[in-house]
Amino acid sequence: MMIVFYIAAVIAVAATVMTITLTHAVHALLYLIVSLLAVAVIFYTLGAPFAAALEAITYAGAIMVLFVFVVMMLNLGEAAVEQERRWLDRRMWGGPALLAAALLAELVYTFAFGIGPGGPSGGGVSPHAVGAALFGPYLLAVEIAGFLLLAGLVGAYHLGRRRTDAEE
Amino acid sequence: MTNTLPVLESLVLAAVLFALGLICVLVRRNIVFMLMGLEIMLNAAGLAFIAAGARWGSADGQVMFIFILTLAAAEVSVGLALILQMFQRFKTVDVDVLRRMEG
C-alpha cells in the first residue's frame, strides 16, 4: 500500500508543479485535474473511500468543469477554432494522460489484489460513520454550509449576469 | 493495519502542496491562476484533515473535508463570476490592472 501512496504523492506534486508553471490556462487545468485525482488516490490509501469519491466527483468533476467553462468563455473570438486545433496536439494532452494512466494502473492494481485500508475488506472510516457524524453532532454546521451555498448561488447569479448598457 | 497508514508522509505532502499553491497565488498575476492556487491550498488543507482523521480513526476529519469542499464550491462560483465581470469591464485577466481600486 505504501508504494501506491508514494507513486500517487509523486504524481500529485509533479502535476501541481506543472499547474503553477504552465502559461496556458487549459493546459494548467488538465494538470490540476490530474493532481486532484492523485490526491483522491491518497485519500483511498488513508482509509477514506468516501472522501476519495467526493474528491473525484466534486473537485475534479464539478469545480474543474466550472473552471474549464469560464476559461473557454474568456477565449471567445475568431481565433478560437485555430486555438482548438492547437489544443488537440499530442504534446498538450500527452503529459496529463500519462499521469492519469499511472493513477488508473494504481487503481486497477489496488482492486485486483484487494489491498488497502479502504478496500472491501474493511478498515478505515466507512461512509456510514461519516454520514452519522455529519447529521449527528455536526447538524448545525451542515445547515450553515447550506446557507453558504445559498449565498454563493445568489452571489454568482448577481455577479455573473451580463450588464446591459442601460445600467452603465 | 493502522500503523501502516502513511499519516506523516501525508502531512508532509499537504505542506508541500499548500506551499505550491501559495507560490502560485503570490507569483502569478493572471487571476485565473491565482484562483487555481487557492483551490490547491484548500485541497492541501483537506488532505491534512483526512490524514489526521485517519490517524485517530475518526470520522471528524472527513466531515471537515466535506465542509472544505462546500466552501471551495461556493468560493469558486463567486470567484469565477467576479473574473467574468472583470473580463467584461477591463478586457483582461491581469490583476495589476485593478490597482485603481486603492481609491
Give the CATH number of the domain where residue A65 resides: 1.20.120.1200
Chain B CB contacts of A141 under 8 Å are 63, 67
Q: What does the pLDDT read at residue A76?
A: 61
Specify whether A133 is located in the same domain as A85: no
Tally the domains of chain A: 2
Of A6, A46, A133, the CB nearest to B59: A133
Instruction: Assign A119 a pLDDT band (cuts: 50, 70, 90).
Output: very low
Specify whether A52 is located in the same domain as A132: no
Q: What does the pLDDT read at residue B1?
A: 46
Specify whether A22 is located in the same domain as A78: yes
Choose between A162 and A161: higher pLDDT: A161
Mean pLDDT of A105-130: 72
pLDDT in tens, A32-67: 999 999 999 999 888 888 899 999 999 988 999 888
In the predicted structure, residue A87 carries a pLDDT above the cut 80: no
Specify whether A137 is located in the same domain as A109: no
Vertex A52 angle, CA A49 and A54, to 5°: 115
Specify whether A24 is located in the same domain as A95: yes
In the predicted structure, residue A105 carries a pLDDT above the cut 90: no
Specify whether A42 is located in the same domain as A121: yes
Q: Is residue A168 part of a domain?
A: no
Question: Pick from A58, A70, A64, A158: which is nearest to B67 by CA?
Answer: A58
Specify whether A90 is located in the same domain as A16: yes
Q: Is residue A149 part of a domain?
A: yes
In angstroms, rounded to a whole number, what is the distance separating the alpha carbons of residues A124 and A116? 9
Specify whether A117 is located in the same domain as A39: yes
Chain A CB contacts of B70 under 8 Å are 145, 148-149
Chain A CB contacts of B66 under 8 Å are 51, 54, 130, 134
Q: What are the residue ranges in chain B where pLDDT is below 50?
A: 1-2
Q: Which grid cell sits at A157?
A: 447569479
Specify whether A120 is located in the same domain as A130: no
Of A5, A50, A74, the CB nearest to B62: A50
Specify whether A18 is located in the same domain as A94: yes
In angstroms, rounded to a whole number, what is the distance separating the alpha carbons of residues B23 and A16? 11
Instruction: Assign A106 a pLDDT band (cuts: 50, 70, 90).
Output: confident
Q: List, in order, residues 6 or more apart from A84 with CB less than 8 Å away.
A: none
Interface with chain A: mutation pick from B47, B50, B62, B86, highest number of A CBs within 10 Å: B62
Q: What does the pLDDT read at residue A162?
A: 72
Interface with chain A: mutation pick from B32, B66, B67, highest number of A CBs within 10 Å: B66
Burial of B6 (0-12, 13-18, 19+ CB in 10 A): buried
Vertex B87 angle, CA B82 and B88, to 5°: 100
In the predicted structure, residue A121 carries a pLDDT above the cut 70: no
Written as one letter, the residue type at B40 is I
What ipTM was predicted for this assembly? 0.89
- B20/A13 touch (CB, cutoff 8 Å), yes or no: yes
Instruction: Assign A115 a pLDDT band (cuts: 50, 70, 90).
Output: low
Specify whether A69 is located in the same domain as A136: no
Please identify among residues 69-98 of chain B the ones whose CB lies closer than 8 Å to any CB of chain A.
Answer: 69-78, 80-85, 87-88, 93
Q: Which domain holds residue A38?
A: 2-125
Interface with chain B: mutation pick from A19, A65, A106, highest number of B CBs within 10 Å: A19
Q: Which domains does chain B have, with CATH numbers?
A: 2-91 (1.10.287.3510)
Find the residue in A nearest to B87 (Cα): A74
